Amino acid sequence: MKTIILLSTLLASALGTPVPQDGYCRPSRSTKIAKYDDLTWIEGNYNPIPPHYYGLSYTTFQVDSYDGFIPPTSWNQTAMAFGGSGNISVPDQPPKTSFALQSFSYACVAGIPQPECAISIWGWTVNGNIIKREIIFPRLDPGHVIEDFKMNKTRFGKEWTGLKSVGFSIAKKEDGGNMYGGLALDDVKYTITQGC
């Protein structure tokens, strides 16, 4: 019996056909866009984003609903780090999982007027590298109609691949001082890779 299996395996590999056997696996990839609109939001409550939401887990970020200030990019909810800092990570299980960050919409939300806002973004890779990037959300002055306010969008290059975790924090661009505001994210697009 063993001989037959071995023989057929040898034969199959000789013919160049992949043979499914123990430990045989191809990495799988799937691209997702987290929009937060399918999550429950209750006014005045702590509204956490549940673990493994579209494959990622959030610390500090909550679900937030449109309150008439800066509209979400899609529908009426965003992810919001009320103190301006938080993390988005692949869960420990299943192992050998990483993600590539592709794009998102963002806004610093501190009210009118609010100063120019610097958002620091760190990426921690599975290989132990740290990548850093800073993006800006413009200052908002009084005298505008609400329609003038919108989330900004940014894309990420190939170096934002093989990530275990992405961290955020906001500060006043001018002097690094406290923004006294939150960081809203929407339509976060990424590709999760499940390794072998």
Ligand X SMILES: *[C@@H]1O[C@H](CO)[C@@H](O)[C@H](O)[C@H]1NC(C)=O
Task: Write out the residues near ligand X by the rule CB under 6 A.
Answer: 59-60, 65-66, 76, 85-87, 124, 138, 140, 148-150, 152, 165, 167
Structure-token pair, residue 146? 């609400």
- CA 99, CA 51: separation in Å to the nearest integer? 16
In order of 4, 68, 115, 140, 150, the CA distances from 145 in angstroms are 77, 11, 18, 11, 11
Nearer to ligand X, 47 or 60 (CB): 60
Nearer to ligand X, 134 or 148 (CB): 148
Nearer to ligand X, 60 or 193 (CB): 60
Find the shortest distance in angstroms from Cβ 70 to ligand X.
6
- CA 66, CA 149: separation in Å to the nearest integer? 13
User: What DSSP element (H or E) covers 11?
Assistant: helix 2-14
Nearer to ligand X, 6 or 180 (CB): 180
- CA 94, CA 31: separation in Å to the nearest integer? 17
